[in-house]
Structure 1
Amino acid sequence: MGEYIPPSAFYTFDPIRYDPILLIEPILSSIGGDHTEIKKIVQYSNEIKNLVEGKEAPYDHSTMLFLAIMDWKEGGVPSEPLDNGIARDRIGRFPSDSGNAIEYILEFTRENEKEILFHELLIKLTNGLSPENLGEEGFNRGFAGMELLGWLNNEDVKLLLQTMQSGKWVIKSNESIDGGVRDSLRHLQTLLKAANRRGCGILMRRHH
């Protein structure tokens, strides 16, 4: 029998209502049983709404973060995805070893000396919730395989759209997939424009 090759990961880009940075301290308090601050901020998550004061939250850090920042509708209903078509599928299942289109863009583009935000924002999107970048443990991995990679708030979304069109970066000549950077950026732009129209941010997740 041949060696088992596990399927590659796929990635999703979810609309978020709140910046994770604003929720870190309230989540830490909530895990300890003090839900006052998180309930002041988060309006429509049923799980957050149902937390009992004085009783520790039954969720780990990353699950709490996911429940708190998502763009829930009134009644706790998930909002529509940023894209239902080709962009979501193509950027979610990129044909590289890792399947991560954002990492691919980072690897095969180069900024000029006048551009610093392009890569910075892409790193925030694909790795901003790692302990190294966030400065807190446990917000990137949780129960049942939950993997939160990074995010952009709404201001970041606008900035990344601007820097993508700035012309202050180039595609490297050794790109391994012909047209891979341009295709990935085109699909990412679709998601960013949708988030910009809705006034929300984006959360990047990995699924196995």
Structure 2
Amino acid sequence: MTAEGGPMSRYIPPSPFYTFEPLRHDPLDMIPLIQASQGGDHSEIKAVEEISASILSLEEGKKPELDPAMMLFLTCVAWKKDGGIPEPLDKGVSRERLGRFPIEGGDALAYLLDNTIEKAEDGLHDLLAKLALGLDEEYLGEGGFSQGAGGLELCGWLDVKEVVILRRAIQRGKWSVDPNEPLDGGVADAFRHLTIILRGAEKRRCGLLMRKHA
């Protein structure tokens, strides 16, 4: 047995897991409708094409029990027609590899932002930051859209056009790896798997939402 507080008694929790969901609607288009709905006016949000049944069931004039982040998740993600979970953008190793990158915190996008140097104004870092942080209040300028009920955590997103721009910026190679990169080959590995996810979104002509699972 070890003394209380000794090295064998310390619990090290696993890193969060990150997923990348296909988006049907741009959050910037949905946020004003969600804000109106939070005040009891659901008419516009109910008129959105292929909207979730949970939104359609809202009663006019009554504030929803759903918080803004959950409403954003329900309205923007490309759910199946029966309301089922969308098909993953990658069914191979990329989903797992990006989901929990082998660094402290497990965030592959944060790793890329910290360990790459831009050599051209092609939007590489701006779009990585938007995907990683775009729904944070400080970045978005609106509160309540990054964290919701049941531990829901939404990081950021890219629209359909930005998916293509980021994929091209990565493949164009107008960037370099920071010489102090802590994980040998980490940047190349993260970019390779992110490109596969981006291609999956591009093929479906959808946007991309980054989500954190604690």
Name the counterpart of 2:155: 149
| Match for residue 131 of structure 1 among 137, 142, 147 | 137
TM-score by length of 1: 0.96
Name the counterpart of 2:11: 4
| Match for residue 44 of structure 2 among 11, 29, 37 | 37
Matched, 1:56 2:51: no
Matched, 1:85 2:92: yes
Matched, 1:24 2:31: yes
Output the amino acid matched with 2:18.
Y
Matched, 1:186 2:192: yes
Structure 2 unaligned blocks of 5 or more: none
SS at match of 1:137: coil
Output the amino acid matched with 1:53.
E
What RMSD in Å do the two structures reach over aligned CA positions?
Answer: 1.1
Output the amino acid matched with 1:133.
Y
Distance 2:211 2:145 in 1: 12
Give the % identical residues. Answer: 48
- Say if 2:69 and 2:146, in contact at 8 Å, map to a contact too: yes
Q: CA shift at 1:142, angstroms?
A: 1.0
Distance 2:49 2:61 in 1: 18
Distance 2:82 2:210 in 1: 24
Output the amino acid matched with 2:54.
E
Output the amino acid matched with 1:137.
G
SS at match of 2:47: helix
Q: CA shift at 1:79, angstroms?
A: 2.2
Map 1:89-108 onto structure 2 (within 5 A).
89-108=96-115
Moved over 3 A (4+): none
- Say if 1:102 and 1:122, in contact at 8 Å, map to a contact too: yes
- Say if 1:115 and 1:169, in contact at 8 Å, map to a contact too: no
Q: CA shift at 1:42, angstroms?
A: 4.3
Distance 1:77 1:164 in 2: 32
Distance 1:42 1:63 in 2: 18
Name the counterpart of 1:119: 125
Mean alpha-carbon deviation: is it higher for 181-190 or for 70-79? 70-79
- Say if 2:147 and 2:154, in contact at 8 Å, map to a contact too: yes
Distance 1:102 1:175 in 2: 14
Name the counterpart of 1:199: 205
Residue-pair matches, total: 207
Distance 2:88 2:23 in 1: 10
